[in-house]
Amino acid sequence: MSPVVTAALRRITRRGTPLAAWGWGLAVLTLVATAAVFGVTLEAGHEQVRRAARQRLVIGEAVLRAAVERYGYLPGVLALDTEVRGLLGNLDAPAGIAAVNAKLEAIAEASDVAAIYLLDRDGLTRSASNWDQPLSFVGTSYAYRPYFTEAVATGASRYFGIGTTTNRPGLFIGKAVPARDGGFAGVVVVKIDLEGLQREWRQAGEHVLVSDAAGVVFLASEPAWKYRPFRPLTQVDTARIQAARQYGDSDLRPLLSEWIDGGTIELPCGDGTMSGIVERAAMPDLGWTLWYVAETDATLRQALLASLAAGIACLAFAFALAAASQRRQRLRSEQAMRLTLERRVAERTSDLSTANARLRGEIAERERATAALRATQDELIHAGRLAALGQISTAINHEINQPLAALRTFLSSSSVFLERGDTATVGRNLKRMTEVTQRIAEIIRHLKVFARKTGPEHWEPVRLDAAAAAALDLLAARIRVEAVQVTCAIPPEATVRAEPVRLEQVILNLMVNALDAMRDAPERRLDLTAMREAASCWRLCVADSGSGISEEHMPHVFDPFFTTKAAGEGLGLGLSLSSLIVRDFGGSLAAANGARGAVLTLVLPAAEA
């Protein structure tokens, strides 16, 4: 309640004011307050209705445009079709007419349009999707229809009207078919039925209208509004619409008796009228205007209720002033209760602050524990990598000793050849010694990179074939000694996001397990294959020809310290650490039995994902 009304009520209720004056003053102030609240509430409600109407208008325009543009491409595609252009080049070919009829019928049925038909240069229908129906367009001339004349003049047309043959409304989209001589050979027309859009508006309880450039409503949620202009039409527009039979035999009576400024209109609805706030959106590319009418009856009822509540509040406030002493007593009681409540709130706030501090301490402790766990995991992964190097150290030692022995042989022979003056042979030996030293350097580089301690900060796009090749280099000596046949079918585009050394560690662990499983197998085959998994992952499979994994061991293959090898041959951490590393990469590691032996499947996110 405003301060002015409050002050006036205080003056009226002072001691000594006559009862009659008090009553008249209270009545006047109540009326003023009621009228003011009614006006403010009604305006606020109207503004809220306008905002909602504008929002619905945006949605309605998007839906209408989607319904129109959904088939906008179809006439242009058909205008370039060789069979359509061939028929227009030879209008008397029965086989061509039958082929185009069948094509148009199939396209109309598949795209759910009302009709598709082909007009020649004179506007005569030569082929149509409804060629075999009672109301077929074939043989009918539509040269007078605007969608034909506009397509001839501009190359394309859009026109809403009632069909002269079927008497059904629709949107006609025309496209001129170019002729070989540079002109036009005919026009392809697609008729779209928009009646379903009106049913959706009606079922949703929305009041929507669409009018053409002349102001004639041709789409509406209420059937009684269709084919009627908002205002009386000019003689030119009336003659044009009737000549083209755009809206059939509609009498084109005005929809509104008068236009109400301020964005409010009254429309006929049933036996009465419906008034509401109207918002509109122009669609100049189509020559249409979309109207949305929001009813204001609920806003009026809300304003009346608010004004009634304001009047009752004025009366209640006046009687409250008359009982000032009781109110003061109540205020003192409420103040005491408020102080008590504030004290209790302060106590609860202190308890809550203590609990929050304790919770923050627990969170910090958990973060420290998580960091320590992560550090321990990193150390364990690095230790597993060093253990893998230890397992293959004998083979690597043999891989390095062989080049060293060859190097010693070349040095000894070079000294002899040098004494003999055979410089050509010495030069060849020096070249071979250079190749041997490069081979030793490459092996040592692989070892240094593999033994390096890394972490998530080194993640980068990694090619699966490069990681597999690096692991195969470290196991080359063992593969050669054990006569293992290796098949690597990894596409060069298979790239994942990971840490290179850890990914190499995982692949090395899988290969070592596969080689161990094939130690006593009569046939030793190691197959590495990679394929695309869905749209954002790569799947790498490592398959061996060993004895496979027994069913009782399958649930435990990724458990820490689980191993089926003899004592001293492994700690059972390889697959467990590999699974941990793969989970850090956002992937998964699974074990199964294949056609010959075990298959370990590694799934990792693709680099581009």
Task: Name the helix (H) or strand (E) containing 588.
Answer: strand 588-593
Cβ neighbourhood burial of 190 (10 Å; 0-12, 13-18, 19+): buried
Q: Which CATH class is domain 73-112+114-192?
A: alpha beta
Decide: helix, strand or coil at residue 61.
Answer: helix
Least confident of 45-49, 390-394, 438-442, 486-490: 390-394
β-bridge pairing 264-269 and 228-229 = unpaired
Position 586 confidence tier, pLDDT thresholds 50, 70, 90: confident
Q: What is the pLDDT of residues 235-272, one digit of tens each?
A: 888 888 888 888 888 878 887 766 655 567 777 776 66
In whole angstroms, give the CA distance from residue 85 to residue 76. Answer: 12
The answer to whether the CB of 199 falls within 8 A of the CB of 284 is: no
Q: CB-hemisphere CA count at 13 Å for 80? A: 4
Q: If you average pLDDT over each of 278-282, 390-394, 406-410, which comes out highest?
A: 278-282
Cα–Cα separations (whole angstroms), residue 117 to 70, 122, 160, 187: 18, 14, 16, 9
The answer to whether the CB of 232 falls within 8 A of the CB of 216 is: no
Least confident of 104-113, 114-123, 217-226: 217-226
Higher pLDDT, 430 or 191: 191
User: Residues of 327-360 as b/e, b for ≥16 C-beta within 10 angstroms?
Assistant: eeeeeeeeeeeeeeeeeeeeeeeeeeeeeeeeee
Position 125 confidence tier, pLDDT thresholds 50, 70, 90: very high
CA triplet 215, 73, 161: central angle to 5 degrees? 30
- What is the reported pLDDT for 507? 87
Q: Which residues contact 487 (CB under 8 A, 6 or more apart)?
A: 525, 526, 527, 528, 529
- What is the reported pLDDT for 148? 93
Decide: helix, strand or coil at residue 118.
Answer: strand
- What is the reported pLDDT for 138? 92
In whole angstroms, give the CA distance from residue 469 to residue 323. Answer: 95
In whole angstroms, give the CA distance from residue 314 to residue 308. Answer: 10
Least confident of 179-188, 290-299, 343-352: 290-299
Nearest-10 crossing angle of helices 574-584, 324-391: 140
Cα–Cα separations (whole angstroms), residue 504 to 314, 395, 450, 472, 562: 83, 18, 8, 10, 22
**In the predicted model, is pLDDT for residue 387 greater than 60?**
no
Residues above pLDDT 70, as percent of the chain? 77
Q: What is the pLDDT of residues 171-222, one digit of tens each?
A: 999 999 998 877 889 999 999 988 888 888 888 888 888 988 888 888 888 8
In whole angstroms, give the CA distance from residue 516 to residue 501. Answer: 22
In the predicted model, what is the mean pLDDT of residues 277-301? 82
How would you classify residue 539: left for phi > 0, otherwise alpha for psi between -120 and 50, otherwise beta? beta
- What is the reported pLDDT for 11? 55
- What is the reported pLDDT for 16? 47
Question: The tokens 């298959």 sit on which residue?
Answer: 599
Give the alpha-carbon dihedral of 131, 135, 141, 143, to 10 degrees: -100
- What is the reported pLDDT for 15? 47
Least confident of 34-43, 163-172, 314-323, 437-446: 437-446
Q: Which of 499, 546, 533 is nearest to 601 (CA)?
A: 533
**In the predicted model, is pLDDT for residue 128 greater than 90?**
yes
Least confident of 109-118, 140-149, 308-317, 570-579: 570-579
**In the predicted model, is pLDDT for residue 456 greater than 80?**
no
- What is the reported pLDDT for 528? 92
Position 104 confidence tier, pLDDT thresholds 50, 70, 90: very high
- What is the reported pLDDT for 386? 55
Q: What is the pLDDT of residues 459-471, one digit of tens each?
A: 788 899 988 888 8
- What is the reported pLDDT for 568? 46
Six-digit token pair at 419?
């004494």
**In the predicted model, is pLDDT for residue 226 greater than 90?**
no
Q: How far apart are the first and last CA of the chain?
A: 61
Position 26 confidence tier, pLDDT thresholds 50, 70, 90: low
In the predicted model, what is the mean pLDDT of residues 513-529? 88
Position 570 confidence tier, pLDDT thresholds 50, 70, 90: low
Please provide residue 253's backbone torsions phi and psi, each rounded to the nearest 5 degrees.
-70, 140
In the predicted model, what is the mean pLDDT of residues 319-326? 68
Mean confidence (pLDDT) of the chain: 79
Residues above pLDDT 90, as percent of the chain? 14
Q: What is the pLDDT of residues 392-404, one digit of tens each?
A: 555 555 556 556 6
**In the predicted model, is pLDDT for residue 137 greater than 70?**
yes
- What is the reported pLDDT for 499? 82
In whole angstroms, give the CA distance from residue 522 to residue 483. Answer: 11
CA triplet 506, 510, 514: central angle to 5 degrees? 165
In whole angstroms, give the CA distance from residue 67 to residue 320. Answer: 62
- What is the reported pLDDT for 213? 84
The answer to whether the CB of 505 falls within 8 A of the CB of 511 is: no
Given 3-state DSSP classes, what are the helix, strand and coil percentages for the chain, each rounded to the nearest 5? 55, 20, 25
In whole angstroms, give the CA distance from residue 575 to residue 381. Answer: 11
Six-digit token pair at 86?
């061939």
Least confident of 37-46, 52-61, 180-189, 230-239: 37-46
Domain boundaries along the sequence of the chain: 73-112+114-192, 396-451, 455-605
Q: Which of 148, 126, 157, 139 is nearest to 287 (CA)?
A: 157
The answer to whether the CB of 105 falls within 8 A of the CB of 129 is: yes
Domain 455-605 fold is Heat Shock Protein 90 (3.30.565)
